[in-house]
A and B are shown apart, each in its own frame.
Chain A
Amino acid sequence: MLNRIGLYTMFRREVVRTMRVVVQTLVAPVISAALYIFIFGTVIGTKIDDFAGVPYISFVFPGVLMLSIINASFASASSNLYFMRFTRGIEEILIAPFSYLEMLIGFVGSAVVRSMMVALLILAVGFLFGAVSLVNPIGFMLYVMAIAAIFAMLGIVVALWAEGFEQLQVLNTFVITPLTYLGGIFYSITFLPELAAQITRLNPFFYFADGIRSSMIGYSEANTQVGIVVIVGLVVLLGWLVTTLFKRGWKIRY
């Protein structure tokens, strides 16, 4: 039977942890997103014609939102688990009646909870700037949750692998950030030469951004089926990997 109270407690604990460092976890990403919205909406956006039938800020906003969700989810999962490894607080979870699948749901769900808190605040800022539209709310929620889950699981893998605080940033600096910015969050791939556009289509982040954008403004540049296969495939693959690592107790169990 699913340990529902246990899972809810893991989510609740993450909310407590998030509120403990609220400037770092909620205020900073919202300010950062607000700056993006201001620059692309008010400063640059007013000088650019409508793009794909919507103001430029509406085209860019889904990418800004995705960037914040990715960062919040990855940081939440990686810092939570790494800190628990560091203090041996992970033993609280190991001695409690959680299955390995429940550990996965607990850690991933906790990170998704934090990223949803960030997403709601950024959506609120977006509304103030008139940057938010939502043509497919259910699709939007599914994309957002799946992307947050993917980066939570990547955060868990990095937290298990890292032997120091610096290593926690390696994946973020060398993989996540470049692939995010090169995934077409601020531009259309129609602006790119054909070879660059083809290369972009190999970047999974392109499908993440496109999925959120299509559910928000109804404009898509990617093959939706391919995007869904990429996202679902990553959720399943990373879910299997993290559950296996928990089962083996890699770096958490003596």
Chain B
Amino acid sequence: MSDNPILEIDNLVKVYGSGKTAKRAVDGVSLQIKRGAFYGLLGPNGAGKSTTIHAITGIAQPTSGVIKIDGVDVVKDYKEARNKVGLSPQEFNVDIFSTPEQLMDFMGGYYGIPKDERRAKIESLIERFDLQKHRKVKFQKLSGGLKRRAMLGRALVHTPDLLILDEPTAGVDVEQRHDLWEYLKELNEKEGKTIILTSHYLEEIQYLCNEIAIINNGKIVAEGTKEEFMKGGKSVEQRYLEITREDNKNNHA
């Protein structure tokens, strides 16, 4: 396995709008994520987490800065870069009349996966996410938990090197959330998949992630291993609150 980082972000800036209404959603973010990491990206609403993810995946156009996935520039060599990343977004960005099976089938097709290979992968994902009974049910009729599982299946259909999960357990009940955690842990530890996770459930971050960054007001304000965050017997949640409150105080001073 290569020692090169799977994701390198150098001075990413994203500005929405222009003139007086311009909003600097991401303001000089730089990150390096090691291959095989389970990386938690934390921050309050509007801090720049989703915008950073959008810039990595091609949903947003960076204003400036460089993003490389496995050494491939996401702007210059965007086609190659897209093959390396899978996204389960915060919002359900799907055709709500499609079934989970169709969502995975179409997504696999978009990634150029041949039919037989695609079929086999879909079957394994449907089984893994326990979607057998719901495979032909329209997305709009699924429960919140089933929708999340279908989104995860769609994100994994092309076996990406880097999996990005933006609030993957929002609206999922406790039991299903724990099932999902075990699956993600297995995906990271046994299959070596690099995962970036954003979540407002900080116990989820503490349980799953081995590296953590906090983004606030568009900037990375803290980054380190989970152990470094939890130094002194503090929980991730306690450290998160300390860091963001301190940063907000400094910004308002």
Contacts and interface: CB of A to CB of B under 8 A. Distances in A.
Interface of A: 3-6, 8-10, 12-13, 16-17, 20, 83-84, 87-99, 249, 253-254
Interface range on chain B (Cβ under 8 Å from partner): 20 to 34
A92 B158 CA distance: 13
Contacts of A90: 93
A250 B232 CA distance: 49
B203 to A, nearest CB: 29
A17 B95 CA distance: 10
Contacts of A13: 106
B34 interface: no
B125 to A, nearest CB: 16
B93 A5 contact: no
B61 interface: yes
B61 A89 contact: no
Interface string B102-124: 10011101111110000000000
B94 interface: yes
Contact of A89 (B16, B57, B93, B112): B93
For B57, B89, B97, B114, the residue with the greatest tally of chain A CB atoms inside 10 Å of its CB is B97
Nearest to B164: A95
A10 B105 CA distance: 11
A89 B85 contact: no
| Nearest 4 CB-CB pairings of A with B | A9-B109, A96-B110, A254-B60, A88-B93
B127 interface: no
Interface string B69-100: 00000000001101101010101011111000
Given A6-B109, A254-B16, A254-B54, 15 more contacts: A3-B112, A5-B109, A5-B113, A87-B96, A91-B93, A92-B94, A93-B110, A94-B57, A94-B59, A95-B57, A95-B59, A97-B80, A97-B82, A97-B110, A98-B79
Contacts of B93: 87-92
A97 B91 contact: no
Contacts of A253: 58-61
B94 A9 contact: no
A3 B51 CA distance: 27
Contacts of A16: 102
A108 B161 CA distance: 31
B91 A96 contact: no
